[in-house]
Chains A and B, each alone.
Chain A
Amino acid sequence: AQSVAQPEDQVNVAEGNPLTVKCTYSVSGNPYLFWYVQYPNRGLQFLLKYITGDNLVKGSYGFEAEFNKSQTSFHLKKPSALVSDSALYFCAVRVLGNNNDMRFGAGTRLTVKP
């Protein structure tokens, strides 16, 4: 079975500091990994995905994520946080052969303080 873990319910950072939102996964097979963000009163917005190739994936709003196969992780990062980055972040995984089952983590609430 495939699963995703977001070990931190809440992440707090100061504006201008780097941020990391952690995600680890467990799958049998090659993972396809996604990050989504949910701003207040909005739907989930796609940030980035890892399919194959370069382990460092760049996405929207200056975010990037690094696929680490040995550590089964796909942490979301940004070099300099903005107050407007405050939102709920979800990591998700899919596996070939199980197309319809996108497994999400429980979400991490990021708060960026001025």
Chain B
Amino acid sequence: EAGVTQFPSHSVIEKGQTVTLRCDPISGHDNLYWYRRVMGKEIKFLLHFVKESKQDESGMPNNRFLAERTGGTYSTLKVQPAELEDSGVYFCASSPLGGVTDTQYFGPGTRLTVL
């Protein structure tokens, strides 16, 4: 079974540009999560999809971030315009059930560098 995949693995952009990150969850997993790890600190929750619906987006830092999951399969996270503080590693995770005890399976992450 294929795991969670993310594209690209690395992205280097200049401040003010736009970047779109993609996540393909494990097939059949209705729940998809985005997280971010900045500057070697803790991994922080950004948002949670159940199928194509946003269940919780309380962790999104501001309105420069837009996440979508059209059709309830893969998801994209767009940052527009990017700022220096957006640099970090963006992780995607998926799980089948979404409950508090459910294991989330993570992708390899996208390392974003904003210059």
Contact = CB atoms under 8 A, between A and B. Distances in A.
Do A and B belong to a common assembly? yes
Interface of A: 4, 32, 34, 36, 41-46, 49, 51, 90, 92, 94-107
- The SS class assigned to the B binding surface is loop
Contacts of B4: 43
A46 B107 CA distance: 11
Given A32-B100, A42-B108, A44-B91, 15 more contacts: A32-B101, A43-B3, A43-B6, A43-B109, A45-B106, A46-B103, A46-B106, A49-B103, A51-B101, A92-B43, A94-B100, A99-B99, A103-B42, A104-B43, A105-B42
Interface of B: 3-4, 6, 33, 35, 40-45, 48, 55-56, 58-59, 91, 93, 98-101, 103-109
Nearest to B56: A100
A44 B105 CA distance: 8
A41 B43 contact: no
Contacts of A105: 42
Among all A-B residue pairs, the 4 with the closest Cβ atoms: A44-B106, A43-B108, A100-B56, A104-B43
B109 A107 contact: no
A32 B42 CA distance: 18
A107 B42 contact: yes
B106 A49 contact: no
5 contacts: A46-B106, A95-B100, A101-B45, A102-B45, A107-B42
Contacts of A98: 100
Contacts of A100: 33, 45, 48, 55-56, 58
Contacts of B55: 100
B74 to A, nearest CB: 16
Contacts of B101: 32, 49, 51, 94
